[in-house]
Amino acid sequence: MKRFLQFAIDFIRAGFTGGLMFWAWMLFLSFFIMLWGYGEFVQIRDGMIVTNLTDQVSWGLYLANFVFMVGVAAAAVTVVFPAYVYKHHELHKIVVLGEMLAIAAVIMCLLFVTAHMGRPDRIWHIIPVIGIYNWPNAMLTWDVLVLTGYLILNLVGGFYFLFKKYTDQPLNKSFYIPLIFIAIVWALSIHTVTAFLINTMPARPMWHHSIMPIKFITTAFAAGPSLIIIVFMLVRKFTPLKIADEAFHMLSQIVTWCLGIALFLVLSEIVTELYPSTEHTAGLKYLMFGHNGLNMLVPFFWTAIALMVGSFILLLIPRIRKNMTILPFLCVGVFVGIWIDKGMGLMLPGVIPTPIGEFAEYSPSMIEMMIILGVWAIGLFILTVLIKGAVGVLLGDVSYGGKSDAAAT
Amino acid sequence: MSKEDNKENGAQSVSRRDFLRKAGTYSAASLSGAAMLLSNPKPAQATTNVEWAEHFQKNYRLMTEEEKQEALDRLEKRYSEEFGKEVTVDGSPAMDGVLFGYALNIQKCIGCRRCAKACVAENNQSRGDEQQIEWIRVLRLEKGQFSADDRDNAGYPGDYGIQVGGNAYKPAGVVLEGQHYYEAEQVPEKDAFYMPMQCMQCEKPPCVKVCPVQTTYRDPDGIVVIDYNWCIGCRMCIGACPYWARRFNWGEPSLPAEEMNPVTHYLGNRPRMKGVAEKCTFCVQRTRKGRWTACVEVCPVGARKLGNLLDPESDVRKVLETKKVFRLRADLNTYPKFFYFMD
């Protein structure tokens, strides 16, 4: 117990040690976290009226970001899976960094959901035993279940690994390996359930198709590893931790093929909807071409398509994919493209037009932007601390009775 | 404060409850209420404890009878102070052998929207510039008109062999433009007919299925209700409703004290708070006492019928037997108990 306490202290200390760059970065993030605090305060005080959401468009960018971040969280599996199933040596060394990313992403998800709720003070109503859990009927309760489970799995798995490394003890394989494999399957479940959350509503025809879960998974496994590649590159640049090029090659291949499948699914969806072009296509048509001058989403849609298709074509070429200078830019392209596609491109046209055929446009208010940016800042803040601590442990700088005081890197 | 219907409703509530206790609280409430009106329309410190108790109460459906009574008394006390008049909060459960159904004659509806307005007055919805909540939407549908000018891409498939459009761009009854904000000088308009929509009280309500905390549920008389004190504001129900029948309190509802209807039901028209969903309940505060809903009462052409589907003599059953009846979006298997009919 004492050792664990020491571990926690050392880990946090390592997470918060750094040079001028580090503190500038944390200060930068703190500014947005303050904005988040203010935004949440105003929203809880005045109600959701401070957002630009309406009865017509009652789900907006909060949920869009939530859906996207669930994907990023699930995508930690793209590091874990090759490491443990295919025994990818290079990824195996840094697998815990993927788990840290998942932890930060799930926390962001929970913050987005809280921001989306009209009455966050009543969140206890959804907690089993003290509240009512509409299980197994409501998809949202399933989502709570899988998200919480995933958070716990990653916290336990990641920190168990780090703690053992910290105390320099061998891992208990019969505990750790099953945990990892449960987490792999569980990762798929979080994004699948998030897809079920919105595609089980025939009232919203654009969402009501069974391609949704697999499309969610593939886009997640393209966007997530893209972010992981960027994070790993930063780790490699700013810390002495060595990450071999093979790890990046593996991840960029995953991005490429998942992006390819995702584009194929996008194509299938568009053709299936547009060919007969029934009344149920209104949402997709609005997204792609606008409606009677309401075409706010149109440039976003085509930007997303251009980013995804362009990145895919470039990633297909091995010489470019393996070029460590170009790769991060492609990753940013994929990441932004999928964020638009899964955020605005999915959430908004799903509820536009309304079931009685009304078109209403929505753009987030200042308060919404503050909260969204703030949650991202919180996520990056947590991620920075977790990654720095984990890197310290991996390098051996943070160890029990060791050089913990010299953890500054 | 002393509107005629208030008196009428007051008498009803006194007969329902212990007279002596009521008389005591009545005088106290009216005194403090009057003071409240003069000074500040918002609830004072005295109600803080009541509000705290509200925060920790259970889901209404799972409360014991005593807990329900406590919750109702708490609300009566708070609302009376807040609105400066004696407010009753009823908790009548569903009557046995009753399954409410509704029938609407779309041939008769003239689109006057009196139903929507009466509904707002009866059910204490938010009004004012900031947020107006109406449970009834009257859709204005255009009568079909074809003209030679509208023949887009006439004679397709055209030069390139691609089928691009159709000629009948203006079929009868286009709903796609959602014309429910029409402001006609005179109704019915010559080139339109109307279709009111509201909560259909589905037999298989998608909103109930998706609610993560079971704050919305179907009572035995077929009315889908919401425990406003338990709603977490996730808006899953709004997403799931194919009839767009649910409304959300984006901000603190604005309900002027003098316009507030003091005869309320816990699951129906009691004042709402910010951040919760609400919807038509077939005026549960009236219908469970054997009265018509406000919309049925006010309709100038008698297009609206309410009745007990289990009673062969009810208006709705007669409509179902003798008229041409249809339900909206039958493909979704929600089984609405709201029927449209024609003579």
DSSP string, A293-308: TB-SSHHHHHHHHHHH
Q: Under a CB-based contact definition with an 8 Å cutoff, are residues B170 and B314 in contact?
A: no
Instruction: Assess B238–A contact: CB distance below 8 Å, yes or no.
Output: yes
pLDDT at B165: 54
Q: Which residues of chain B does A351 touch, with a Cβ-Cβ cutoff of 8 Å?
A: 239
Instruction: Assess B77–A contact: CB distance below 8 Å, yes or no.
Output: no
- Asked if the peptide bond before residue B157 counts as cis, ω within 30 degrees of 0, the response is yes
Q: Under a CB-based contact definition with an 8 Å cutoff, are residues B27 and B82 in contact?
A: no
Instruction: Assess B51–A contact: CB distance below 8 Å, yes or no.
Output: no
pLDDT at B155: 64
Instruction: Assess A57–B contact: CB distance below 8 Å, yes or no.
Output: no
Query: Helix/strand/coil (H, E, C) string of B24-51?
Result: HHHHHHHHHHHHHHHHCCCCCHHHHHHH
First-to-last C-alpha distance (Å) of chain B = 42
**pLDDT tens, position by position, B166-221:** 555 555 555 555 578 888 889 889 888 899 999 999 999 999 999 999 999 999 99
The ipTM is: 0.89
What stretch of H or E contains B72? helix B65-83
- Asked if the peptide bond before residue A240 counts as cis, ω within 30 degrees of 0, the response is no
Name the residue in chain A with its Cα closest to that of B135. Answer: A55
Look at B274 and A118 and tell me if their CB atoms are within 8 Å. yes
Would you write out chain A's pLDDT as a tens digit for each of its 409 residues?
Answer: 788 899 999 999 999 988 899 999 999 999 999 999 999 999 999 999 999 999 999 999 999 999 999 999 999 999 999 999 999 998 998 899 999 999 999 999 999 999 999 999 999 999 888 888 888 899 999 998 999 999 999 999 999 999 999 998 999 999 999 999 999 999 999 999 999 999 999 999 999 999 999 999 999 999 999 999 999 999 999 999 999 999 999 999 999 999 999 999 999 999 999 888 887 888 999 999 988 888 999 999 999 999 999 999 999 999 999 999 999 999 999 999 999 999 889 999 999 888 888 888 899 999 999 999 999 999 999 999 999 999 999 998 888 876 544 444 3
**Sign of the four-CA dihedral A383, A388, A389, A391:** positive
Alpha carbon of B304: minimum distance to chain A alpha carbons (Å)? 21
3-state class of B292 per DSSP? Answer: coil
Point out the residue among A55, A204, A358 whose CB comes nearest to the CB of B247.
Answer: A55
CA distance B231 to A305: 39
pLDDT at A304: 96
Point out the residue among A49, A123, A198 whose CB comes nearest to the CB of B250.
Answer: A49
Instruction: Assess B164–A contact: CB distance below 8 Å, yes or no.
Output: no
Q: Which residues of chain B does A58 touch, with a Cβ-Cβ cutoff of 8 Å?
A: 235, 238-239, 248
Look at A117 and B248 and tell me if their CB atoms are within 8 Å. no
**pLDDT tens, position by position, B4-61:** 333 333 334 444 444 444 444 444 544 444 444 444 444 444 566 677 888 888 999 9
Look at A355 and B175 and tell me if their CB atoms are within 8 Å. no
CA distance B27 to B86: 9
CA distance B105 to B115: 13
Instruction: Assess A49–B contact: CB distance below 8 Å, yes or no.
Output: yes
* B105 Cβ contact list (under 8 Å, min separation 6): B302, B303, B304, B305, B323, B340, B341, B342, B343
State how far the alpha carbon of A42 is from the alpha carbons of A117, A366, B249, B274, in Å: 14, 11, 16, 13
Instruction: Assess A131–B contact: CB distance below 8 Å, yes or no.
Output: yes
Point out the residue among B62, B180, B244 whose CB comes nearest to the CB of A355.
Answer: B244
Q: Which residues of chain A does B242 touch, with a Cβ-Cβ cutoff of 8 Å?
A: 202-203, 355
pTM: 0.88
Q: Provide the mean pLDDT of chain B.
A: 83
- Torsions phi, psi of A10, nearest 5? -65, -40
Name the residue in chain A with its Cα closest to that of B163. Answer: A275
Q: Which residues of chain A does B177 touch, with a Cβ-Cβ cutoff of 8 Å?
A: 357-359
Alpha carbon of B27: minimum distance to chain A alpha carbons (Å)? 33
Give the number of other CB atoms < 10 A from CB of residue A375: 27
Q: Which residues of chain A does B274 touch, with a Cβ-Cβ cutoff of 8 Å?
A: 46-49, 118
Name the residue in chain B with its Cα closest to that of A127. Answer: B213
Look at A117 and B209 and tell me if their CB atoms are within 8 Å. no
Instruction: Assess B214–A contact: CB distance below 8 Å, yes or no.
Output: yes
- B216: β partners: B226
**pLDDT tens, position by position, A43-83:** 999 999 999 999 999 999 999 999 999 999 999 999 999 99
Instruction: Assess B205–A contact: CB distance below 8 Å, yes or no.
Output: no
Instruction: Assess A126–B contact: CB distance below 8 Å, yes or no.
Output: yes
Cα B196 → chain centroid: 13
Q: Is residue B2's pLDDT more than 80?
A: no
* B166 Cβ contact list (under 8 Å, min separation 6): B152, B153, B156
Instruction: Assess A351–B contact: CB distance below 8 Å, yes or no.
Output: yes
